[in-house]
Amino acid sequence: MKLILLGAPGAGKGTQAKLISDYYAIPHISTGDIFRSNIKSGTELGKKAKAFIDAGALVPDELTVDLVLDALSAPECMGGCILDGFPRTIAQAEALDAAMKAASDAIDCCIDIEVPDEVIIERMSGRRVCPSCGASYHTVNVPPKTEGICDSCSAALVIRKDDEPGTVKARLDTYHEQTQPLIGYYTAQGKNIVIDGMHSPEEVFSEIKEKLG
């Protein structure tokens, strides 16, 4: 089973990707993790990706397509996988479909997690991350034991550039313009399922399992 997770930044795709990966025993391929790793390592790809991410824009197709296709060819993905953060544009989706068709393969389903913009802005503005160990928190939903301090390594928590309200709004605008058309793309293929992302992570995952069958 090869799945795509679709939804605006902050819709809860990362949480659901882990739950789906664990439940169905399929790898979780997150382009976000790949980019963050490259940014932290200071690679050329990371430097280019960081410039776009900091501006609230999508990383261009040419920086992502080959990387994801290479990941899909790994032996652990032969039995299925879940793509989180890719494709983000119609061009990426078409490149993915063409490559998979050449390998006599195809995406089985697109899971579209829907959350209103105003809720997403509230969610993301409360995020805090540890610059030392990478742990994530939320001022309301997952607060640290001591305000502003990481539970794991006691480092001071920070607000990521892409979680600042202005950047969040820019990312949402980019999502609606470039990524949201994928809903129509996969609906036309009969592969899109809509999930209400306003509920708890457990309830959202329960709806995903029900609709996947």
Residues with a catalytic annotation lie at 13, 88, 127, 160, 171
The 3-state secondary structure of the chain reads CEEEEECCCCCCHHHHHHHHHHHHCCCEEEHHHHHHHHHHHCCHHHHHHHHHHHCCCCCCHHHCHHHHHHHHCCHHHCCCEEEECCCCCHHHHHHHHHHHHHCCCCCCEEEEEECCHHHHHHHHHCEEECCCCCCEEECCCECCCECCECCCCCCECECCHHHCHHHHHHHHHHHHHHHCHHHHHHHHCCCEEEEECCCCHHHHHHHHHHHHC
